[in-house]
Structure 1
Amino acid sequence: MRLSRLHQTHYRNGPDYRNQADVSFQDIQHAFAFSTIKVGRWVTKEEQQIAANLIFDALFDLATILNLPSQALGLKRQLNLAFGTGGQAGVQAHYAPYSRTLALAKNAGAGALAHEFWHAFDHYITDKVFSPPHYKFSSDTWLNKNTLIAHPLNQALAQCFKAVLLSESGNEPSHYTQTAITLDKKLNQLYYSRPTELMARAFEAFVQDHSAITNRYLVSGTQQTELAKAGIYPRDQHREAIGQAFKLYFYQLGFALKKSSR
């Protein structure tokens, strides 16, 4: 019998949030304040248990890395989570803005969670940062110079966009952006160089570079894969500068959220 890829071990080094106990998808919904969670009908009970533990750990790792309260990941209960349902052939995971759903494939979602969370966050935050927002995602909106709502958090997020998408002078695309444009031209497509995708991959790199937590179900492949070597992820000093910008933004966001909950 062919075993599900869920049975494979996904390397992780981080805190034990579950006290080595099993959790359920209901526990995930409560801990991270998702609006709804849907599990596919073809996911067995055993696969559900394995996936619930993996996703629970990965989301807590992400909240820890971002310095956010765990319930912030549900984006004020506007984000839905789907596992093993409504997938697309050959796609690890995807975010559907029309339904605000982060969907993980049963056998291929490992390593894509951080990437898709950024898409969900990028979508959610748009109308909190820009007035009026003319695009669904804040990264697209920022690049098209829409009006930023005056707030220190929005200024810090804008610095993340600048650090990723533009050169140090701010007058031209970053080398990372230029590399993606060149690759898209070679492949006759528009994908890697889209602002939403550039930001999501930069966010992945930031998450994977965390010194104290490693979780390959959350993120993997930003350093040693062939695509990484081709330059579709930030590298070297640029990668460090991006990481510092993300770290500063999420530290401030986490501080504000924790202060408001007191």
Structure 2
Amino acid sequence: MNLFELFGLDVGEDLMVQDVRTDKQVRNRYSYDVGEKLVGAKKEIRALKESFLVSFSLEILAEIEKESPVEALNALDRNTLIPFSFEHEKENDVLPRVAKLKQLLVGRINKKPIVDTPTARKLYVQACRRIGHDIQSVHTSEQWVDLVVSYGMEMSNGWSAFRKNKNVTFTFKRMVEEYFDEFVDADGMELLILGKKFISLCTNSKSINSTYLRVSHELTWNDLLTKKVTTRKKSAAAWSRKLPDTLQRKGPGVKIATKPEDVVTMFGLKGMQFGHYCTEQYAKEHIGHVSEALYDLSRILGIPPEYIGLGGRLGLAIGARGSGNALAHYEPSTKVINLTRDNGVGALCHEWGHALDHFLYDCSHDFQNGSLAFLSTGKSIGNILPAMIKEKMQAVVDACKQGKVARVINVENAYSRKWYFYGVVIDSYDVFKGNVSNILESHHASLCRKLDTLSGATKTRMERKIEKEFEKTAQMLAAYHYKKTGEKLNEISYQVKGSVYFDTAIKLDKKRTKKYWSTNHEMFARAFEAYVESALLDQEHRNDYLVCDTYSFVYPLGEQREHLNRSIKSLMEVAVPYIINSIQGVGKDEL
């Protein structure tokens, strides 16, 4: 795909950067917006979305698709398409138990389509609206069972007929992931877009029965309508970037931008935006530093400066769209990097790493996807991206996580209680000849293998449970060792799978309610920063505005850093030519 065409650009003409300053920026010489207006959603799209959410018209959805697949996906929400509520069910004289069964059925539906294509989004709307209509006529538990069974029969018969007629040899999972648009219009296939949890419930009699029996006959409206109140403590920042007292840059001379238009033109950005509290002096300084930083980044990566904006896809904002306590952030929905006015120093490289990761994911779907994801996640990657780039990215992710980490567990309290010795750890004591470290390592590896079979919330719950059980097992092992040898251990050291970098990220995430540090895309972005700063230092260069403080504990260090640097360099050697060719409009067969 020619990305200039995608963003309405004509490479055959000299492009004038549009001045789109706000009323408050009219007299400014530096702090004013240029290029494409960096807003969340255009007024036209907002109007279309509002109209769609009233009518659920597929024609309007198609209009939104033309404007933006991302906005089309954002417009779809299970709870909006199926407006279910216990209050409404009570008003319609539905029994509490039946209302709960309906809620469980709706809850099995994916919140978004399982496949990221325009056809899938259209069918998701149709299927959700159909479910919403059907459950309105359900007033007894028997009717609920009949409805769920009928859905299962429809999907099973549709899939069987399709396989027979088309002589399909692929597995159902592969058909859904790779060939969805080719079979969804067949009879009985519409409901498949609602996801594997919905399919599992409707096509599995055991699942239907367990769901049916799970809901108590004694359920009351008070049980359903009483909302649970939960409170969460705000977590303190686990790490903050140490900013230099004075910004330093050491490197070859570069052309320094003097106004926003220069930055947009030099680096092929779609636009640049300044917050109204970004004074003229601040804006002037940021413009100069940004131009130096992006030149240094392009030199390290081996990509021409005009391609840093990823074909007019990437925007830059200074102090204009802050997010919580973040010093900087990348917005996947708008493809904009935002740096805070005062403290965004050193984060530009990290956020550009996110933009690259996101760009490659979108490339894999030929920019037809609506989901906002990253290539480093390894999930739902399209077929357009060359296999070599996928493999190189996976190699980087693997390098982030693979290795051995030394751990120590305190067992001083093992001797203050009575024990009943049992379990595989005690049974293996003689096999390992009393080597308590090796016993714990073996036991930890076994627990990790069990965890690897789980996913989502189930895995998170099990991780907490296993952590407590492992600590108890270590205490019991120490007591057993004391009984056998008379040696009292205060602690037991052992090794576990995983790099120090990954292990540190996991420990930081234990203080949070959601994973952040150990997610693939955040680990990639920090590793990308480390690669760029290492490359600068190898040349005896420095740019604090671009990147700084990557030798602290949240980054890869030592041998792992060197290994990751080689992996990222290998990735960029294949990714950069692909990015350039994509932007220049080279055909897919030439990439």
Asked if these proteins are the same fold (TM beyond 0.5), I'd say yes
Q: Distance in 2 between matches of 1:259 and 1:86?
A: 32
Which of 535, 545, 555 in structure 2 is aligned with 1:217? Answer: 545
Aligned residue runs from structure 1 range 1-262, under 5 A? 9-18=246-255, 23-129=258-364, 136-140=373-377, 142=378, 144=379, 149-167=385-403, 173-187=498-512, 189-210=514-535, 211-212=538-539, 213-223=541-551, 228-229=552-553, 232-255=554-577
Counterpart code for 1:77: G
Give the AA of the match of 1:181: I
Q: Given the superposition, is the C-alpha separation of residues 234 and 119 from structure 1 closer, same or farther in structure 2, using an over 3 Å criterion?
A: same
C-alpha contact 1:22 1:49 (8 A) present in aligned 2: no
Q: Verify the 8 A CA contact 1:165 1:198 in the aligned structure 2.
A: no
Structure 1 residue 162: Cα displacement = 2.1
Preserved CA contact (<8 Å) 1:68 1:254: yes
DSSP-derived class of the 1:209 partner: helix
Give me the whole-angstrom Cα distance separating, in 1, the residues matched to 2:342 and 2:399: 34
| CA distance in 1 between partners of 2:292 and 2:565 (Å) | 22
* Counterpart-to-counterpart distance in 2, 1:145 and 1:55: 34
Aligned partner of 1:39: which letter? F
**Secondary structure at 2:323's aligned position in 1?**
coil
> 1:135 & 1:92 partners in 2: Cα distance?
21
Q: Note if contact 1:129-1:154 (Cα within 8 Å) is conserved in structure 2.
A: no
- Taking the aligned partners of 2:307 and 2:257, their CA distance within structure 1 comes to 22
Q: Which structure's CA Rg is the greater one?
A: 2
Q: TM-score by structure 1 length?
A: 0.82
Change (3 A) 1:120 1:255: closer
Contact 2:375 2:393 in 1 (8 A): no
User: Which one is further off, 245-254 or 66-75?
Assistant: 245-254
| Greater Cα offset, 103-112 or 245-254 | 245-254
1:9 partner amino acid:
T
The alpha carbon displacement at 1:256 in A equals: 5.0
CA RMSD of aligned residues (A): 2.8
SS of the residue aligned with 1:202? Answer: helix
Amino acid at match of 2:510: K
Q: Deviations over 1:46-100 (max 9, x none)?
A: 2211110001000111111111111221111111111121213432111111111
How far did 1:127 drift? 3.2
Tell me the distance in 1 between the aligned counterparts of 2:265 and 2:359: 20
CA distance in 1, matches of 2:257, 2:381: 46
Q: What SS class does the counterpart of residue 273 from structure 2 fall into?
A: strand
CA deviation string 1:111-131 (max 9, x = no partner): 110111111111111133479
Unpaired runs of 5+ residues, structure 2, are 1-244, 405-448, 450-496, 587-591
Residue 3 (structure 1) aligns with: none
Rounded Cα–Cα distance in structure 2 between residues aligned with 1:246 and 1:179 = 20
SS at match of 2:300: helix
Tell me, in whole angstroms, the C-alpha distance in 2 between the residues paired with 1:191 and 1:98: 19
2:523 and 2:254 map into 1 onto residues whose CA distance is: 31
Residue type at the aligned position of 1:157: M
- Could you say which structure has the greater relative contact order, defined with CA pairs below 8 angstroms and 6 or more residues apart? 1
Secondary structure class of the residue paired with 1:74: coil
Contact 1:68 1:253 in 2 (8 A): no
TM-score, normalization: structure 2? 0.38
Check conservation: 2:257, 2:291, Cα contact below 8 A: no
